[in-house]
Structure 1
Amino acid sequence: MKTLSAFSLKCLLGLMVAASVPLVHAANPTASASAHAATGGIDWRKDNNVEAAFAQAKASKKPLFLYWGAVWCPPCNQVKATIFNRQEFIDKSRHFIPVYLDGDSPGAQKFAAQFKVRGYPTMILFKPDGTEITRLPGEVDSERYLQVLTLALNSSASVADTLKLALAGGKGLKEDDWSLLADYSWDDPEQKLVAPKELATTLVRLAEVAPAGLAATRIYLKSLFVIATSKPGSSVPTLDKAQATERLIKALSDSKVARDNLDLVASSAASLTEYLTAAKSTQRATLVQAWNGALVKLADDASISKTDRLGAVIAQVDLAKLDGGKPSASFQKDVQKRVAQIEQATTDSYERQSVVSSAAYALGNAGLLDDSDTLLKAELKRSHSPYYFMSTLGSNAKKRGDNAAAINWYEQAYNASKGPATRLQWGSNYVASLVDLAPADEARIQKAVSGVFDEVAKTENAFYERNRAYLEKLGKKLQDWNKDGKHAQTFQKVQAQLGGICAKLPANDPQKASCQNLLNKS
């Protein structure tokens, strides 16, 4: 699996799929006390009336905290289990208007387009007038998160204004301002603070002008990751790789720096190593040794979340597979042991959704697909979102080359999924699996596509934000499948079905163009 940013890694484990039900949703009547506190202790607005929520914020002169999430999403459940259940967060929630926007709730996808939120979870703090103060990181540990939230609540300036001052040299900025910039959710693909093509240059500039300290180090590490993962042909600053490697090793060797940047340390190990050093070189071996030294400490650190500890294990697996390597038998046993200890110690229903996802991925990526399957199948009986784990079972079967089993799991996942946005997403993924793994089975593909379009016909805001993104992927997949005209008859049938849906949309509805273009070559 390609190394991903901290923001996207957990969201893409298994399959990048989405679902939601009301925020209070325990796996069983004996859900943990922390799960109850995560919902019962905070006066969330869950009425989907965002305009009224901002009116309330303006009248009370309080900031508005927007949480955009989904019940299945591992990092969302991680946030509920480690942040929202903390008394400090519950106490702070009295100082802002907390709004929970569920991806499957009426109007949610349209609001998502308005506020530029797509990935789960996204958390934004707004001024009462609607100005965005900052996007809060979803991948740092709870202590750091609460520190960032406190700074944001006490800030009189938006992060956009702070960024302008910083890029102009930083005169007048305080340490807290730099901390907010360091912890901004830069890797959120929907953030509009900086254009994607300018992100690397911006972070390098910030790292240069920031006063020496933890904030400057974090910004620098983020800049390295953005440069290393930029698309081919992108304009990125020239980097002295030897110097960057030396500075990176120094950061990894500092336990406090590594601990404070655990999200970056875990998510960027393989990608940065590949970018900065040559394959099988002495420099690569030295950097890998430094990474592993930091990662072992994080994996053993009981003060951080179980999911983050598993993230460190996943990073070790990625490093072991560099240069075509394979995890040794002893390494696999170590992964099994660590995963078992963490998984068995996880009883919180929210946290398990996150931990089991990461644990199953760690096992599968280490070549232990049978162990991964065993863990996932056992979790189907207790998870509040078993369809998420069914998708991961499909991914495991695909890795084995068992296409029939993979398709069967993807179909089960689609059938079990709940919620309008969820079903569009899982349905699109099911169709994609059929096209990839059984392209000649036209009858099954037509039936699956027709089922998804039936969902589209009865889904409000079917062509907004995440819905639109997944439907566009489905459309491209079908167009590629029929590019030589071999499946023209089936393609025309589903095209006609979609045409009937598009025709019912009002002429002035922005969704109409998206609908009409879905199966037409652009």
Structure 2
Amino acid sequence: MTIRLRTLAASLMLAAASAASAASAASAASAASAAQTPPAPVHLPPGIAWQQGDVNAAFALAKASNKPLLLFWGAVWCPPCNQVKATIFSQQAFKDRSSFFVPVYLDGDSESAQKLGERFKVRGYPTMILFQPDGTEITRLPGEVDPARYMQALSLGMNATHPVRQTLASALKNGARLKPDEWRMLADYSWDTDGDLPVPAERIAETLQTLASHARADHAPAEALRLELKAVATAAVGEPKQTGTLDKTAALAAVGEVLKDPKLSRSDFDVLVASPAEITAYLSAKDTPARNRLVKQWDDALTVLAADNSLSATDRLSALDGRVSLARLDAPKGAPLASPLLDTVRQQVAAADKATTNVYERQSVISAGADTLTDAGLLDESDALLKAELKRSPAPYYFMSGLASNAKARGDKATALSWYQQAYDASNGPATRLRWGASYFSGLVELAPDDAPRIQGLATSLLTQVGQTPNAFYGTNRRALTKVVTRLAQWNKGGAHDSTVQTVAKQLEGICSKLPAGDPQVAACESLLQPVKA
């Protein structure tokens, strides 16, 4: 379920400054109204007694009933979240198991969600955390694996005698001796959403490789390989950029061992399909026999995975997109892909579109299919797929963002801005609107930097929404606002737009002044003022 959230784009055709000002005023009024509109009802697969709303009450229930608690943090628009709903939460095995724990759903747009997200150290959607009845975090479950592996990770967590934090401390010691299930928990831990373990974000790759070395020494070869794969993937993608030194020889050996064995490739497919081009570039030099061998091995493995019907449609499309990324790795920029691969992309995306009827899975499949078409250079076909989905999707603004990205790739600024604005106007829920508003703002500053009235109008609109949003300075809300003020400061480099920026700063200052004294949000709000004041 490795689905990328593309950088997004929207707004109407560029016009004269007076028309743009009018449009900005209208957009501001629309946003002020929409900010008060609650998000659409959240629909979850039936058969699970999800607790929603009062998270503290859910923890009290878990303690009183002596059951673990599973917290699922998600969003209506999020493709991987919907993939989890379709492939895991819809399974009878999960529904049956859910009676043994307290299942809690926390939507990112629900009241206090972003504040709670910081409490639980949530980084992104989806995040799934398993807690002991007393509220101690046990482990974080992987959202990108297939149902069988997920259920194994869930069972291991529910039966664990101590939190994974304690297991990690033991595993990092030289000469570590762990139980097989403890190595499995570490290998399947959701490092992508980790916010609880005492490992700096920039040293995750190094930590994973150390764990891999210790697992090998402790006779846990399958877990060692998986940890090694995750280490090199983290180092290659570099989000955030990793420090420390990774043993590339060991990493390359692990990658080669998994790629040549179909059973291992299937077992670790989630890591293999995620970033093959980045890992290949990290482990080998361009125009070398080593690079050519690795590309060939990886493409062969992805070809098998893309045709493996035991994987979900989204996962098969992710494998296909991996093949596209490898084909582009050393090719001249803009060079067309080979016709056989293009034909395969068209056929497989069309087949996935036709076969997928589940509303949750479509949000995931269409996203993956459109990404694959775009990456293959088939922008018109990607557009057609996305436009056809707008009326069917519960979150069409997500796909409008993809249309904006395609228009931007063509160099069509007006159409890109149009889709940016449409996506923002269609978005629903406080956190979602701030996220999409920040994307629209970035697109506007980048694609129409001379349209000061429009930029000021959108900034005013967003801050009006902020003033009406409780907990606006927590979690993804704060990150969206940071993106806006950073772009605003960059736009004003050299002082060309001082009057506009100071107007925005004054509005933000007014919002900060209305926060209750002693509220942690005061410091967060005032820190956002610094870039625009400077």
Query: What's the TM-score bracket when you normalise by the shorter of the two chains?
Result: over 0.9
**SS in structure 1 of the partner of residue 45 of structure 2:** helix
Q: Is the 8 A contact 1:13 1:357 kept in 2?
A: no
Tell me the amino acid that sits aligned with residue 228 of structure 1.
A
Note the 1:358-369 alignment, pairs <5 A.
358-369=368-379
Counterpart of 1:235 in structure 2 is 243
Tell me the amino acid that sits aligned with residue 22 of structure 1.
P
In 2, the alpha carbon distance for the partners of 1:70 and 1:16 equals: 20
Counterpart of 2:79 in structure 1 is 74
Matched, 1:101 2:117: no
Q: CA deviation at 1:205?
A: 1.4
Q: Is the 8 A contact 2:400 2:423 kept in 1?
A: yes
Tell me the amino acid that sits aligned with residue 223 of structure 1.
A
Q: Is the 8 A contact 1:21 1:70 kept in 2?
A: no
**1:130-175 residue CA offsets vs partner (Å, 9 max, x unmatched):** 1110000010111110111111111111001111111124655211
In the TM superposition, structure 1's runs of 4+ consecutive aligned residues that sit over 4 Å from their partners are 14-17, 169-172, 231-234
Counterpart of 2:383 in structure 1 is 373
Match of 2:338 among 290, 304, 328: 328
In 1, the alpha carbon distance for the partners of 2:428 and 2:482 equals: 21
**SS in structure 2 of the partner of residue 124 of structure 1:** strand
Match of 2:301 among 282, 294, 310: 294
Deviates more, 1:183-192 or 1:64-73: 183-192
Match of 1:488 among 498, 513, 519: 498
In 2, the alpha carbon distance for the partners of 1:364 and 1:191 equals: 36
Match of 1:23 among 36, 39, 42: 42
Match of 2:127 among 122, 125, 132: 122
Q: CA deviation at 1:228?
A: 2.5
User: Which structure ranks higher in relative contact order (CA pairs < 8 Å, sequence separation ≥ 6)?
Assistant: 2
Counterpart of 1:3 in structure 2 is none
**1:31-80 residue CA offsets vs partner (Å, 9 max, x unmatched):** xxxxxxx5320000012x11111111111111110000001100000000
Tell me the amino acid that sits aligned with residue 146 of structure 2.
D
Note the 1:15-164 alignment, pairs <5 A.
15=8, 21-24=40-43, 39-47=45-53, 49-164=54-169
Matched, 1:10 2:11: no
**1:302-326 residue CA offsets vs partner (Å, 9 max, x unmatched):** 1111111111011111101012343
Note the 1:458-477 alignment, pairs <5 A.
458-477=468-487
Note the 1:209-220 alignment, pairs <5 A.
209-210=214-215, 211-220=219-228
Tell me the amino acid that sits aligned with residue 316 of structure 1.
R
- Structure 2 length-normalised TM: 0.90
Q: Which runs of 5 or more structure 2 residues have no equivalent in the other structure?
A: 11-37
Note the 1:96-495 alignment, pairs <5 A.
96-169=101-174, 171-188=176-193, 190-210=195-215, 211-230=219-238, 234-241=242-249, 244-325=251-332, 326=335, 327-495=337-505
In 2, the alpha carbon distance for the partners of 1:16 and 1:86 equals: 36
Counterpart of 2:29 in structure 1 is none
**SS in structure 2 of the partner of residue 201 of structure 1:** helix
CA gap of 1:312–1:437, structure 2 versus 1, over 3 A, is same
**SS in structure 2 of the partner of residue 215 of structure 1:** helix
In 2, the alpha carbon distance for the partners of 1:319 and 1:102 equals: 36
Q: CA deviation at 1:360?
A: 0.3
**1:317-338 residue CA offsets vs partner (Å, 9 max, x unmatched):** 1101012343123321221111
CA gap of 1:79–1:445, structure 2 versus 1, over 3 A, is same
Counterpart of 1:35 in structure 2 is none
Q: Is the 8 A contact 1:411 1:430 kept in 2?
A: yes
In 2, the alpha carbon distance for the partners of 1:128 and 1:337 equals: 49
Counterpart of 2:15 in structure 1 is none
In 2, the alpha carbon distance for the partners of 1:189 and 1:183 equals: 12
Q: Is the 8 A contact 1:14 1:389 kept in 2?
A: no
**1:484-518 residue CA offsets vs partner (Å, 9 max, x unmatched):** 11111111111111122111111211111222222
Q: CA deviation at 1:467?
A: 0.2
In 2, the alpha carbon distance for the partners of 1:233 and 1:161 equals: 26
> Identity over aligned residues, as a percent?
51
Q: Is the 8 A contact 1:21 1:102 kept in 2?
A: no
**SS in structure 1 of the partner of residue 457 of structure 2:** helix
**SS in structure 1 of the partner of residue 428 of structure 2:** coil
CA gap of 1:179–1:16, structure 2 versus 1, over 3 A, is farther
**SS in structure 1 of the partner of residue 193 of structure 2:** coil
In 2, the alpha carbon distance for the partners of 1:367 and 1:293 equals: 22
Tell me the amino acid that sits aligned with residue 351 of structure 1.
E
Q: Is the 8 A contact 1:278 1:284 kept in 2?
A: yes
**1:224-246 residue CA offsets vs partner (Å, 9 max, x unmatched):** 222323479843224244x5434
Counterpart of 2:28 in structure 1 is none
**1:288-308 residue CA offsets vs partner (Å, 9 max, x unmatched):** 110011101110011111111
Q: Which runs of 5 or more structure 1 residues have no equivalent in the other structure?
A: 1-5, 25-37
In 1, the alpha carbon distance for the partners of 2:203 and 2:482 equals: 26
- Structure 1 length-normalised TM: 0.92
CA gap of 1:234–1:125, structure 2 versus 1, over 3 A, is closer
Counterpart of 1:30 in structure 2 is none
Tell me the amino acid that sits aligned with residue 435 of structure 1.
V
In 2, the alpha carbon distance for the partners of 1:341 and 1:184 equals: 33
Please provide the CA RMSD for this pair. 1.9
Tell me the amino acid that sits aligned with residue 236 of structure 1.
G
Q: Is the 8 A contact 1:14 1:388 kept in 2?
A: no
Counterpart of 2:16 in structure 1 is none
Q: CA deviation at 1:23?
A: 2.7
In 1, the alpha carbon distance for the partners of 2:246 and 2:111 equals: 47
CA gap of 1:193–1:78, structure 2 versus 1, over 3 A, is farther
In 2, the alpha carbon distance for the partners of 1:254 and 1:193 equals: 34
In 2, the alpha carbon distance for the partners of 1:14 and 1:487 equals: 25
In 2, the alpha carbon distance for the partners of 1:510 and 1:453 equals: 19
Q: Is the 8 A contact 1:357 1:389 kept in 2?
A: yes
Q: Is the 8 A contact 1:21 1:104 kept in 2?
A: no
**1:7-42 residue CA offsets vs partner (Å, 9 max, x unmatched):** xx525245499x964331xxxxxxxxxxxxx53200
CA gap of 1:70–1:270, structure 2 versus 1, over 3 A, is same
Deviates more, 1:374-383 or 1:172-181: 172-181
Note the 1:498-517 alignment, pairs <5 A.
498-517=508-527
Q: CA deviation at 1:212?
A: 3.5
In 1, the alpha carbon distance for the partners of 2:453 and 2:112 equals: 34
Tell me the amino acid that sits aligned with residue 413 of structure 2.
N
CA gap of 1:14–1:313, structure 2 versus 1, over 3 A, is farther
